[in-house]
Amino acid sequence: MEMRLDKLLASYGIGSRKEVKNYIRKGFVTVNGKIIKNDDYKVDYQQDEIIFDGEVIEYRPYVYLMLNKPQGYVCATKDNLHPTVLDLIFGYENYDLFPVGRLDLDTEGLLLITNDGDFAHRLLAPSRHHSKVYFASIEGKMNQEDVAAFKQGIVLDTGYRCKEANLEILEETETGCNVKIEIFEGKFHQIKKMVAACNKKVIYLKRLSIKNLQLDRTLELGDFRELSPMELVDLMNDL
Ligand code: URA
């Protein structure tokens, strides 16, 4: 992939476009071992070895992270009241990251964070009906009638009929039950509203998967990692 040397160094965070041009003219930059002094020099960031002042520049246009979101963090880039999920991410200061979609303040689990707008748009497009699986602890016992209602499409208090969803009752607890819920759309507070429509209440919610991407169980709450090339290929396939 070819791009201008000054643009690449500026996007990497070396400095402003003007500062970067100055560094290049002063001979701070080598490409494949050769000092390059013209700022419009074209580099291939996948092939060329670019070194600025002794530092190897490993430029990538896009970053894809999975975060195990803890409660108490807002899925936004800025918020006046609460910390945002981006406050948990470090080492990617030069990338314009944002969360892909939203989990509620009190929801935990799999959240994707990227700077690839097109990817996010395709993953969130309502017309694509991508699967999302949640674990939920419920106050009140869900039953086979609820399972059937989820299959048929729960009607919310707004009158909206949800798309077919899968409810699996995992086990009973003292005050209710634990369930797994798979939905194929992403309305605001959707799981909580669907469960409320069955006259029960979600008391804990965690997202386990999006499409074929599973939350990495070794990630502690608040930890993140880059998607592996395989995970990314699988996720992008048929997006
Ligand atoms: N459904 C909800 O009710 N909350 C979430 O955070 C995600 C899905």
The confidence score (pLDDT) of residue 238 equals: 85
Count, residues in the chain: 239
Distance between Cα 209 and ligand 1 center (Å): 13
The confidence score (pLDDT) of residue 82 equals: 97
The confidence score (pLDDT) of residue 11 equals: 86
Distance between Cα 4 and ligand 1 center (Å): 43
User: What is the CATH number that goes with domain 64-126+216-236?
Assistant: 3.30.70.580
Distance between Cα 218 and ligand 1 center (Å): 23
User: What is the CATH number that goes with domain 2-56?
Assistant: 3.10.290.10
Instruction: Look at ligand 1, atom 7, and give the residue with the nearest C-alpha.
Output: 103
Instruction: Look at ligand 1, atom 2, and give the residue with the nearest C-alpha.
Output: 189
Q: What are the beta bridge partners of residue 138?
A: 177, 202
Which residue ranges make up each domain of the chain?
2-56, 64-126+216-236, 131-210
DSSP state of 127: G
131-210 to CATH, choices 3.20.20.140, 3.30.70.1560, 3.30.1360.120, 3.10.28.10:
3.30.70.1560
Active site residues: 104
83 Cβ contact partners less than 8 Å away, ≥ 6 residues apart: 72, 73, 74
Which amino acid would we find at residue 199? N
Q: What are the beta bridge partners of residue 67?
A: 111, 224
Distance between Cα 191 and ligand 1 center (Å): 5
Residue pLDDT tens, the chain, 239 long: 899 999 999 988 899 999 999 999 999 999 999 999 998 999 999 999 999 999 999 888 999 999 999 999 999 999 999 999 999 999 888 889 999 999 999 999 999 999 999 999 999 998 889 999 999 999 999 999 999 999 999 999 899 999 999 999 999 999 999 999 999 999 999 999 999 999 999 999 999 999 999 999 999 999 999 999 999 999 999 88
Domain pair 2-56 / 131-210, same fold: no
CA atoms 29, 32, 35, 41: torsion sign: negative
**Of 74, 75, 104, 150, best ligand 1 pocket probe by most atoms within 8 Å of the beta carbon:** 104
Determine if ligand 1 sits within 6 Å of the CB of residue 104. yes
Cβ count near 161 (within 10 Å): 11
Instruction: Look at ligand 1, atom 4, and give the residue with the nearest C-alpha.
Output: 189
**Of 133, 190, 195, best ligand 1 pocket probe by most atoms within 8 Å of the beta carbon:** 190
Question: What is the rounded end-to-end Cα distance, in angstroms, of the chain?
Answer: 22
| pTM, full prediction | 0.89
The confidence score (pLDDT) of residue 127 equals: 87
